[in-house]
Amino acid sequence: MSSKQYVIDDLSNKEAWRLFRIMAEFVDGFESLNELGPAISIFGSARVSPEDKSYKQAYEIAHKLAKSGYAVITGGGPGIMEAGNKGAHDAGGVAVGLNIQLPFEQKPNDYATISCEFKYFFVRKVMFIKYSMGYIVMPGGFGTLDELSEALVLTQTKRIKPFPIILFDKEFWNPLVDWFKNTLLQKKCISPKDLELFWVVDDVDEAVSIIKKFVII
């Protein structure tokens, strides 16, 4: 066997094992979450501290949702994710942490009552979409924007049934919404109806009320 053929075969074996790893992550996720019931995902920055206003608001939202019978799903890490899991945990509800393996920032928080570990972002994103009946998006960075964009695209293209997508903190999100209106809409990259795919709110009770209106349990 030539060295070139050996390299090709070696790469093929690695890809096959990667496929099995991906399949295993899907199976583990489905088995862990299949009996979850109505659940709401809360997204936001991993970098905020418990003293941060957004942390406290995420905690309060999750606490109220859990008291109302909803499970709360987060990315399983620190910051806003910890706040969401802690709020649900302290309310005696179900707190799901979908943790991603990263070389920095991300480590599982102590409040998830159901914890799943993922290597692949796209597998984790499928779990969020499959098991969430609403998204509450707190201030965050690229990861938060990624999850928001995914939900907006899938809803816009009718790949999933519409569900509440709530952007929490008007001061934080309004510049992005203005860009949607003044750039994307003006250049006809989106339609006026696409701006109805989400809400922008500042009030904890308003966010919870929107969820309860559209996700009836």
Please give the C-alpha separations between residue 147 and each of 37, 51, 99, 150, 151, in angstroms, as whole numbers.
21, 25, 14, 5, 6
pTM of the model: 0.91
Query: Does 142 have pLDDT greater than 60?
Result: yes
pLDDT at 12: 63
Mean pLDDT of the chain: 93
Instruction: Give tens-digit pLDDT for 54-71.
Output: 999 999 999 999 999 999
Q: Span 90-119, mean pLDDT?
A: 90
Between CA 199 and CA 49 the distance in angstroms is 25
Query: Does 7 have pLDDT greater than 50?
Result: no
pLDDT at 8: 47
Confidence of residue 2 (pLDDT cuts 50, 70, 90): low
Question: DSSP for 27-87?
Answer: HHHHHHHTT--SEEEEE--SS--TTSHHHHHHHHHHHHHHHTT-EEEE-SSSTHHHHHHHH
Query: Does 14 have pLDDT greater than 90?
Result: no
pLDDT at 6: 45
Query: Does 96 have pLDDT greater than 80?
Result: yes
Q: What percent of the chain has pLDDT over 70?
A: 93
- Give the helix, strand, coil percentages of the chain, each rounded to 5: 55, 15, 35
Domains and CATH numbers, the chain: 3-214 (3.40.50.450)
Instruction: Give tens-digit pLDDT for 148-191.
Output: 999 999 999 999 999 999 999 999 999 999 999 999 999 999 99
**80 phi, psi to nearest 5 deg:** -60, -35
